[in-house]
A and B are shown apart, each in its own frame.
Chain A
Amino acid sequence: MKPRAISRRQMLKGAAGAAGLAVLSGCDNLSRSDWLRNLFGHTEMLTERVQRLVTPSHALAQEYPESEISAVFPANGNSDPGTADYARMAEQHFADWRLTIDGLVGKPTAFSLDALRAMPSRTQITRHDCVEGWSAIGKWTGVPVGDLMHRVEPLPEASYAVFYCADLDDQGTAYYESMGRADLYHPQTILAYELNGTSLDVAHGAPLRLRFERQLGYKHAKYVMRIELVRSLAGIGGGKGGYWEDQGYEWYAGI
Chain B
Amino acid sequence: METSGVHPDESVRVEGLPSSANSPPSGPTTSDSVPPETLTWTYRHALPVRVGHWINAISLIILIMSGLQIFNAHPALYWGNRSDHNEALLSIRPVRIEGGNIKGITTILGHPFDTTGILGYSDQTVRAFPAWATIPGPRWLAMGRQWHLFFAWIFVLTGLLFVSYSVASRHLSRDLLPSRWDMRGIGRAIQDHFFFRHAAGEAARRYNVLQKLAYIAVLFGLAPLIVLTGLSMSPTIDAAFPSLLHLFGGRQGARTIHFIACFTFVGFIVIHVFQVIITGCFNNLRSMITGWFAIKEARQ
Contacts and interface: CB of A to CB of B under 8 A. Distances in A.
Interface of A: 20, 24-25, 27-28, 31, 37, 39-40, 43-44, 46-47, 51, 54-56, 59-62, 64, 68, 70-72, 127, 129-137, 213-216, 244, 247-250, 254-255
A55 B231 CA distance: 13
Contact of A27 (B84, B85, B135, B255): B135
Interface string B246-274: 00000110010000000000000000000
A240 to B, nearest CB: 11
Query: Chain B interface secondary structure, helix, strand, loop or mixed?
Result: helix
Interface in B213-270: 231, 233-240, 242, 245, 251-252, 255
B153 A43 contact: yes
A5 to B, nearest CB: 13
Nearest to A28: B136
B252 A255 contact: no
Contacts of B65: 27
B74 A134 contact: yes
Nearest to A60: B239
A11 B132 CA distance: 21
A156 B143 CA distance: 36
Given A137-B81, A248-B142, A214 B251 contact: no
Interface of B: 62, 65, 70-71, 73-74, 76, 81-85, 132, 135-138, 140-143, 145-147, 149-150, 153, 231, 233-240, 242, 245, 251-252, 255
Contacts of A250: 145-146
Contact of B237 (A55, A64, A72): A55
Nearest to B251: A135
A212 to B, nearest CB: 9
Contacts of A25: 137
Given A51-B236, A213-B235, A214-B239, A130 B84 contact: no
A159 B83 CA distance: 36
Contact of B238 (A61, A64, A132): A61
A73 B245 CA distance: 21
Contacts of B238: 61-62, 214
Given A40-B146, A43-B149, A71-B84, A24 B135 contact: yes
Contacts of B138: 28
B16 to A, nearest CB: 23
B73 A132 contact: yes
Contacts of A62: 238-239, 242, 245
A65 B150 CA distance: 36
Query: Chain A interface secondary structure, helix, strand, loop or mixed?
Result: loop
A34 B238 CA distance: 33
Contact of B234 (A135, A136, A254): A254
B132 to A, nearest CB: 7
A133 B81 contact: no
24 contacts: A27-B135, A27-B137, A28-B137, A40-B147, A43-B150, A44-B146, A51-B236, A54-B237, A55-B237, A61-B235, A61-B238, A61-B239, A68-B81, A129-B233, A134-B76, A134-B83, A135-B252, A213-B235, A214-B239, A248-B143, A248-B146, A254-B237, A255-B231, A255-B237
Contact of A130 (B74, B140, B143, B153): B74
Contacts of B240: 51, 54-56, 59
A40 B239 contact: no
A20 B233 CA distance: 30
Given A55-B240, A130-B74, A214-B239, 18 more contacts: A25-B137, A28-B137, A31-B136, A40-B147, A43-B146, A44-B146, A54-B240, A56-B240, A61-B239, A127-B81, A133-B83, A135-B83, A135-B252, A215-B235, A248-B142, A248-B143, A249-B145, A254-B234
Nearest to B85: A72
Contacts of B135: 24, 27-28
Given A31-B143, A133-B71, A216 B235 contact: yes
3 tightest A-B CB contacts, nearest first: A254-B236, A133-B74, A248-B142
Given A24-B135, A136-B83, A55 B239 contact: yes
Contacts of B236: 51, 55, 214-215, 254-255
Contacts of B147: 27, 31, 40
A255 B239 CA distance: 11
Contacts of A64: 81
A59 B239 CA distance: 6
A222 B136 CA distance: 30
A255 B229 CA distance: 12
Contacts of A255: 149, 231, 233-237
Nearest to A128: B235
Contacts of A132: 73-74, 141
Contacts of A127: 81-82, 235, 251
Nearest to B133: A24
Contacts of A24: 132, 135, 137
B122 to A, nearest CB: 14
B85 A40 contact: no
Nearest to B140: A31
